[in-house]
């Protein structure tokens, strides 16, 4: 483990981990999607959750933000039980879980990020609108603010959801496969945006398929296949041996179904 990672984990005054999962088991019907999962993601990292299809990556994020009830185990956000710390997390679901035909504009989606702090009943105040405009500008979507979300490209849709997360002003961001269905250039620009958000002191947790980009751009990785395979700084957690255990000989899986072999 690197000194920087150790600094983040321990020492007097060190921040609590952004996300800590202890012995988490979760299931939908009978078979568990997550089994006895332990994981720790230090605060201030750009962290990836990696694993094959059906590994439980989305389930893990949903358990962390209280969308599903685990069978056993605990989720801590910044050292507090997740249910008490949900205002500290901004969550961007996988794109197929969003109804893109819902008649809502880009600005209205980003405004949703403010309602948690403003309250559902109250109207947004001037300061809330300022947050919304700043978030739109940050992701370079100001000129699209009046568009319906259904009229956007895949990359633009991700930008809007990142803006909603930014408007929420939460220190921990969780994004489920934000790069799926976007081209390589858009992926690079979204990655740049997420790295920039991390530099503002936030923790950015991303479910991602591409081991290469995780190695080159991320600090930390949780390698998951129903169980925890590895969790730590990328150079240690994504060892060939751990990848073999997670993928059964496959190093990674692209969104287009291509697989990359290792070893
Ligand atoms: P990943 O995001 O890693 O692809 P998921 O967390 O979506 O994996 O799914 C983990 C397992 O749980 C899979 O076997 C999947 O089929 C199952 N699963 C996911 N969502 C549901 C659901 N709503 N109902 C029943 N089974 C589900
Ligand atoms: Mg998923």
**Which domains, from first to last, does the chain contain?**
3-261 (3.40.50.300)
User: How many A from CA of 27 to the centre of ligand 1?
Assistant: 9
SS3 229: strand
Which residue lies with its CA nearest to atom 16 of ligand 1? 54
Give CA–CA dist 54/135, Å, rounded: 33
Cα distances from 75 to residues 2, 49, 232, 249, 253, in angstroms, run 25, 16, 17, 31, 28
CB-side neighbour CA atoms (13 Å) of 233: 11
Q: Measured between alpha carbons, how far is 200 from 87 in angstroms, rounded to an integer? A: 18
State how far the Cα of 194 lies from the Cα of 159, in Å rounded to an integer: 10
Where do we find the tokens 């692209």?
Answer: 254
Pocket (CB within 6 angstroms of ligand 1): 28-29, 33, 51, 53-59
**Residue 66: closest CA among 53, 47, 85, 42:** 85
Distance (Å) from CA 232 to ligand 2 centroid: 21
pLDDT in tens, the chain (263 residues): 445 544 555 444 457 999 999 999 999 987 899 999 999 999 999 999 999 999 999 999 999 999 999 999 999 999 999 989 988 999 999 988 888 888 899 999 999 999 866 555 667 889 999 999 999 999 999 999 999 999 999 899 999 999 999 999 999 999 999 998 888 998 998 999 999 999 999 999 999 989 999 999 999 999 999 999 999 999 999 999 999 999 985 444 433 333 343 33
The reply to whether the predicted model has a pTM over 0.75 is: yes
């Amino acid at each position: 483990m690197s000194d920087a990672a150790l600094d983040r984990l321990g020492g007097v005054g060190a921040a609590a981990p952004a996300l800590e999962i202890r012995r988490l088991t979760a299931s939908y019907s009978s078979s568990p999607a997550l089994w006895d999962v332990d994981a720790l993601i230090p605060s201030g990292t750009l962290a990836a959750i990696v694993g094959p299809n059906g590994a439980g990556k989305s389930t893990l994020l949903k358990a962390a933000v209280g969308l599903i009830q685990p069978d056993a185990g605990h989720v801590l956000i910044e050292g507090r039980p997740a249910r008490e710390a949900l205002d500290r997390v901004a969550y961007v679901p996988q794109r197929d879980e969003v109804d893109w035909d819902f008649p809502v504009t880009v600005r209205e989606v980003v405004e949703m990020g403010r309602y948690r702090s403003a309250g559902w009943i109250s109207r947004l105040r001037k300061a809330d609108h300022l947050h919304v405009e700043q978030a739109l500008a940050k992701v370079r979507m100001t000129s699209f603010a009046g568009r319906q979300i259904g009229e956007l490209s895949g990359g633009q849709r991700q930008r809007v959801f990142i803006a909603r997360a930014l408007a929420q002003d939460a220190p921990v961001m969780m994004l489920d496969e934000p790069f799926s269905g976007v081209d390589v250039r858009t992926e690079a620009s979204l990655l740049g945006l997420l790295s920039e958000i991390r530099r503002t002191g936030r923790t950015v947790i991303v479910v991602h398929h591409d081991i290469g980009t995780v190695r080159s751009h991320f600090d930390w990785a949780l390698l998951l296949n129903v169980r925890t395979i590895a969790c730590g700084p990328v150079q240690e957690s994504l060892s060939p041996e751990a990848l073999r255990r997670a993928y059964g000989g496959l190093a990674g899986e692209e969104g287009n179904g291509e697989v990359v072999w290792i070893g």
